[in-house]
Chain A
């Protein structure tokens, strides 16, 4: 008997599984999957401006920084400003999905690809952002590689205001509606990476970025 059969056989014995009760249990299982019941959750003001306000407040609480621009076209200039203010080089790796923005026009040397160890700045968009906890939802894919938000020390994320949702539940509903199946990696990112392992003293920049900067695009 394989281990799989052995473990399942023991479970079935302990649960008094029979042909007769399996059908009903299977139907209940499928019903649970189909119902996708939502549990109790904190009330959130879902007006557009309130969602953006909460996202900003929670992001700042996670030690992220936030800036706002009116349109997507203004994003490259805001990124260039951020890099200059923080003494970072005017070069970055960017999601291929964002390669078409006019980065060269503001003097940024951009490479559209997955990140490597030497990259110091990574620029991404996001699938959506979650107001409840100040969280970015990033979906992996050929045009949105996961490494860009992971390997560089500085992560800049472009967040269209129209893509801010109240909570994880809405984020999942959006993913089902727009993507069908989940991509290989969904990463929820809430602020810079951190550790508290040594004497519970929080230090930013454990293995992932030590800076996370949200650029909120009001008109997108």
Chain B
């Protein structure tokens, strides 16, 4: 997937100006938030569970080299093959090779963020292997000319029922229906055929378990089960940071992941897949491959951004983000939207390719408060902003303005004078009203909202008056 993150401002402006998208975002708003709030109350000690989850993830990251070797050893002993990929290109090459080696014509896919990062579908098509996305949301995107997802767990949260109805009628050549169960049924029937005929299943992995050499897959639709049960080849594509030590650790993380994601106590299906089909078994793959992908992750280990590698891809940070809720996920320009995306996209695709993302946040810390593995997202965003300055990636006028501001701020009486002048100027501009509809010096600010007008005095003036 090519990143469009460098065009964030244009993308966001387009999202704000799109009435259909805005209506869809309003429909979605708050649903996950409310359900999560109820679900976390089922845990006696949510905070202690978060702390434990954070520790589990940190323990592995601190010795990631050894945990990966351990996972590899155990998985191979169970008959899996473990392959390693430095980047998306290598992922594509390896999957195509596996497909060719096993005579694969069709591959059914259960959601894998990494395959999106790598642009795997295009590579498979070029090699004559037909990729079929089987998560309903991902399928809808695929048949809409490979539209990018807008949310990591609800990829079509930005789409309305009407849009899906049109798309199904067009693609399946069936009468248009606007009944959600009927549409789901139609997708089930279309995709069932694909499950039964595909030679290869491709999945992501929520966790890799070092103790058992297994991959844990969490789904609600059951497509993850289909993809890993029916085809004769199963390829798991995951980032190298996904290892956890034991099954008990999985139990702890599973108390947090579904609750944080959709507000469910548990997802419908949690599958633990270990090794290949045993003698006498009527189902399961004969070949199991793990592709462990770096794509920028190793570079974060031991860095000031290591905390980000704890992410379990629940989506809670975006569900609670005021910026995400206003512009939707596609504006962020890559597979990972919201606060986690604003940290990951610049780190994985290059600081200079996603200059606006670390600024696409109010730093309100809603994301930090809800993150089940306690990633300090606002701190990381702030650090990315600092990095941009250090690497001379901010425009000259911004650097000058900051320098000027710093110069004034270091001189208290000058600062007081400037702010006194500022608030009085703004109050005059408002002409007695509570807000300013158009701000001459910063017109961008007032395009989408009014600027609240100061009432006439600065904070320090009021403070002094009151403390007298």
* Interface set of A (CB-CB < 8 Å, partner B): 2-4, 6-8, 10-12, 14-17, 22, 25-26, 28-29, 32-33, 36-43, 58, 62, 113-114, 117, 133-135, 140-142, 145-147, 150, 167-169, 172, 181-201, 203, 205-209
**B161 touching A40, Cβ below 8 Å:** no
Q: Which residues of B contact A133 (CB under 8 A)?
A: 265-266
Chain B, residues 320-361, CB within 8 Å of chain A (1/0): the string is 000000000000000000000000000000000000000000
Provided the pairs A39-B49, A39-B249, A187-B271 are in contact, do residues A142 and B280 lie with their beta carbons within 8 angstroms? yes
Could you tell me the distance in whole angstroms from the C-beta of B33 to the nearest C-beta in chain A? 12
**A146 touching B67, Cβ below 8 Å:** no
Could you tell me the distance in whole angstroms from the C-beta of B63 to the nearest C-beta in chain A? 5
**A187 touching B269, Cβ below 8 Å:** yes
**B228 touching A208, Cβ below 8 Å:** no
Chain B, residues 216-253, CB within 8 Å of chain A (1/0): the string is 00001111011011100000000010000111111110
Q: Which residues of A contact B135 (CB under 8 A)?
A: 197
Q: Which residues of B contact A134 (CB under 8 A)?
A: 266
Nearest A residue to B279, CB-CB? A142
Q: What is the CA–CA distance of A186 and B272 in the complex, to the nearest angstrom?
A: 5
**A189 touching B269, Cβ below 8 Å:** yes
- Cβ of B398 within 8 Å of any chain A Cβ, yes or no, is no
**B44 touching A169, Cβ below 8 Å:** no
Q: Which residues of B contact A201 (CB under 8 A)?
A: 180
Q: Which residues of B contact A199 (CB under 8 A)?
A: 27-28, 160-161, 180
Q: What is the CA–CA distance of A11 and B239 in the complex, to the nearest angstrom?
A: 14
- Cβ of B424 within 8 Å of any chain A Cβ, yes or no, is no
**A37 touching B66, Cβ below 8 Å:** no
**A200 touching B154, Cβ below 8 Å:** yes
Q: Which residues of A contact B161 (CB under 8 A)?
A: 198-199
Nearest A residue to B52, CB-CB? A39
Q: What is the CA–CA distance of A205 and B184 in the complex, to the nearest angstrom?
A: 8
Give the contacts of B20-76 with A (CB-CB under 8 A).
27-28, 31-32, 42-45, 48-49, 52-53, 56, 59, 62-70
- Cβ of B195 within 8 Å of any chain A Cβ, yes or no, is yes
11 contacts between A and B (CB under 8 A): A14-B299, A14-B301, A33-B210, A39-B49, A114-B283, A169-B248, A182-B274, A197-B135, A198-B140, A207-B191, A208-B268
Q: What is the CA–CA distance of A184 and B273 in the complex, to the nearest angstrom?
A: 6
Q: Which residues of B contact A184 (CB under 8 A)?
A: 273-278, 281, 284
- Cβ of B156 within 8 Å of any chain A Cβ, yes or no, is yes
Q: Which of B196, B211, B246 contacts A117 (CB 8 A)?
A: B196
Q: What is the CA–CA distance of A29 and B71 in the complex, to the nearest angstrom?
A: 11
Could you tell me the distance in whole angstroms from the C-beta of B93 to the nearest C-beta in chain A? 10
Could you tell me the distance in whole angstroms from the C-beta of A40 to the nearest C-beta in chain B? 4
- Cβ of B298 within 8 Å of any chain A Cβ, yes or no, is yes
Chain B interface, number of residues (Cβ within 8 angstroms): 104
- Cβ of B157 within 8 Å of any chain A Cβ, yes or no, is yes
Q: Which of A8, A29, A145, A190 contacts B70 (CB 8 A)?
A: A29
Q: Which residues of B contact A26 (CB under 8 A)?
A: 66
Q: Which residues of B contact A38 (CB under 8 A)?
A: 248, 251-252
Q: What is the CA–CA distance of A88 and B85 in the complex, to the nearest angstrom?
A: 49
Q: What is the CA–CA distance of A16 and B303 in the complex, to the nearest angstrom?
A: 12
Known pairs A147-B283, A193-B268, A206-B221; list 7 more (Cβ under 8 Å).
A4-B84, A33-B210, A58-B265, A142-B282, A193-B222, A197-B140, A199-B160
Q: What is the CA–CA distance of A32 and B134 in the complex, to the nearest angstrom?
A: 37
**B184 touching A11, Cβ below 8 Å:** no
Provided the pairs A3-B90, A206-B188 are in contact, do residues A36 and B248 lie with their beta carbons within 8 angstroms? yes
Q: Which residues of A contact B245 (CB under 8 A)?
A: 29, 32-33
Q: Which of A4, A145, A209 contacts B281 (CB 8 A)?
A: A145
Provided the pairs A15-B301, A32-B246, A207-B226 are in contact, do residues A198 and B184 lie with their beta carbons within 8 angstroms? yes
- Cβ of B164 within 8 Å of any chain A Cβ, yes or no, is yes
Q: What is the CA–CA distance of A4 and B65 in the complex, to the nearest angstrom?
A: 11
- Cβ of B260 within 8 Å of any chain A Cβ, yes or no, is no
Provided the pairs A10-B299, A142-B282, A198-B180 are in contact, do residues A207 and B188 lie with their beta carbons within 8 angstroms? yes
Q: Which residues of A contact B240 (CB under 8 A)?
A: 7, 11
**A12 touching B246, Cβ below 8 Å:** no
Q: What is the CA–CA distance of A142 and B281 in the complex, to the nearest angstrom?
A: 4
Q: Which of A7, A62, A167 contacts B86 (CB 8 A)?
A: A7
Q: Which residues of B contact A193 (CB under 8 A)?
A: 220-222, 268-269
**A3 touching B221, Cβ below 8 Å:** no
Q: What is the CA–CA distance of A191 and B49 in the complex, to the nearest angstrom?
A: 25
**A14 touching B302, Cβ below 8 Å:** yes
Q: What is the CA–CA distance of A167 and B240 in the complex, to the nearest angstrom?
A: 29
**A40 touching B52, Cβ below 8 Å:** yes
Q: What is the CA–CA distance of A169 and B52 in the complex, to the nearest angstrom?
A: 15
Nearest B residue to A29, CB-CB? B66
- Cβ of B294 within 8 Å of any chain A Cβ, yes or no, is yes
Could you tell me the distance in whole angstroms from the C-beta of A148 to the nearest C-beta in chain B? 9
Q: Which residues of A contact B302 (CB under 8 A)?
A: 14-16
**A197 touching B274, Cβ below 8 Å:** no
Provided the pairs A15-B64, A42-B42, A197-B154 are in contact, do residues A182 and B136 lie with their beta carbons within 8 angstroms? no
**A192 touching B268, Cβ below 8 Å:** yes
Q: What is the CA–CA distance of A182 and B65 in the complex, to the nearest angstrom?
A: 25
Q: What is the CA–CA distance of A81 and B155 in the complex, to the nearest angstrom?
A: 41
Q: What is the CA–CA distance of A116 and B72 in the complex, to the nearest angstrom?
A: 34
Q: Which residues of A contact B65 (CB under 8 A)?
A: 8, 11-12, 15, 17
**B45 touching A182, Cβ below 8 Å:** no
Could you tell me the distance in whole angstroms from the C-beta of A208 to the nearest C-beta in chain B? 3
Q: What is the CA–CA distance of A25 and B250 in the complex, to the nearest angstrom?
A: 22
- Cβ of B403 within 8 Å of any chain A Cβ, yes or no, is no
Q: What is the CA–CA distance of A40 and B63 in the complex, to the nearest angstrom?
A: 24
**A196 touching B281, Cβ below 8 Å:** no
Q: Which residues of A contact B43 (CB under 8 A)?
A: 40-42
Q: Which residues of A contact B155 (CB under 8 A)?
A: 197
Provided the pairs A10-B298, A200-B28 are in contact, do residues A29 and B251 lie with their beta carbons within 8 angstroms? no
Q: What is the CA–CA distance of A146 and B49 in the complex, to the nearest angstrom?
A: 32
Q: Which residues of B contact A6 (CB under 8 A)?
A: 86
Q: What is the CA–CA distance of A42 and B254 in the complex, to the nearest angstrom?
A: 13
- Cβ of B98 within 8 Å of any chain A Cβ, yes or no, is no
Chain B, residues 388-402, CB within 8 Å of chain A (1/0): the string is 000000000000000
Could you tell me the distance in whole angstroms from the C-beta of B246 to the nearest C-beta in chain A? 5
